[in-house]
Amino acid sequence: MRIALQPNIPGLVDQLQALGRGIEAIIVPSDGSLAQQPLEADALLCTATGGGDLPALLSACRGLRWIHVLGTGIDNFPLSMAGDAVLTCSRGATATPMAEWVMAMMLCHEKQLPARWINEPPEAWYMADLGCLEQKTLGLVGLGAIGEAVARRALAFDMQVIAKVRSYRDSPLPGVQLVEHLTELLQVADHVVLALPATAASRGLLDARALATMKPGAHLINVSRAALVDQDALRVALDSGQLARASLDVVDPEPLPAGHWIYAHPKVRLSAHVSWSGPNIAQRLLAPFIANVQAFIRGEPLQGLVDTQAGY
């Protein structure tokens, strides 16, 4: 089995070769030479952007039967170029750090952090109008691996958890209520978390009309993709007081240019697309790939399959 590796991750070649003598791991050259010397490979490990030249990489590889994207989001992957190859991704690999990030954002909002830290005598000791997560309603838009990880933690905080999924069905998690329409969720949720992929169907999901439907004073958290939210409409919702806060780990564009209004808005907490980060993150992302290599060799079904028609 010949595996082409676009990201040159230290130790990965040795890790693959330790799985069996029949595995040949090849580091994809970054000097553009693939255009003159196409690469024969059964499988390809790549990132969603391929270092900026993924279409050329896909065109240069011959005989691909399987492509694995090292990450969760594949909205930047040229799906039409996958051809007949099976496409998988590291779905769910970063669910734990992302769920913890979401909980941190909700707690910071309710406990008014960092504003409540002091470095001089305050006007008053002991008294503050802090909130609690207990009995607050969490609205999850998307209930995949990340959404489920958030839900489990929120339930432990005695939150009411509701979720909207692509196709209405019975809830997979005890204590989580699924709603049929997004409006049902937006009207009652104190904290709304976007945890769904960016597809043609979900782009602009939270437009001006949807934001106006949200419960007054709600908190929006986006750890998914910026394309899900109309940023101009979000600014209006924040300025009007319709939303109390937006905690954004994703924005458009990225990196966000200096001077952009999002940096300075008092109701926005902005992070640099880091919610997925955590200990041993490279191994977290590689674990589904390594498991799939073993399954591929044995002729077993692969995990993390991507539906190229649905876009995730």
**Given 120, 123, 254, 298, which residue is catalytic?**
254
Question: Quick check: 71 and 48 in contact, CB under 8 A?
Answer: yes
Question: Quick check: 223 and 274 in contact, CB under 8 A?
Answer: no
Residue 168 identity: Y
Tally Cβ neighbours within 10 Å of residue 128: 10
What is the Cα–Cα distance from 274 to 262, expressed in whole angstroms? 17
Rg (CA), the chain: 22
**Given 2, 235, 269, 273, which residue is catalytic?**
273
> Angle CA(216)–CA(220)–CA(221) in degrees, nearest 5?
165
225 assigned to active site: yes
What is the Cα–Cα distance from 74 to 168, expressed in whole angstroms? 24
**Given 225, 235, 269, 298, which residue is catalytic?**
225
254 assigned to active site: yes
62 assigned to active site: no
What is the Cα–Cα distance from 198 to 225, expressed in whole angstroms? 6
For residue 77, which of 58, 111, 49 has the smallest C-alpha distance? 49
Residues annotated as catalytic are 225, 254, 273
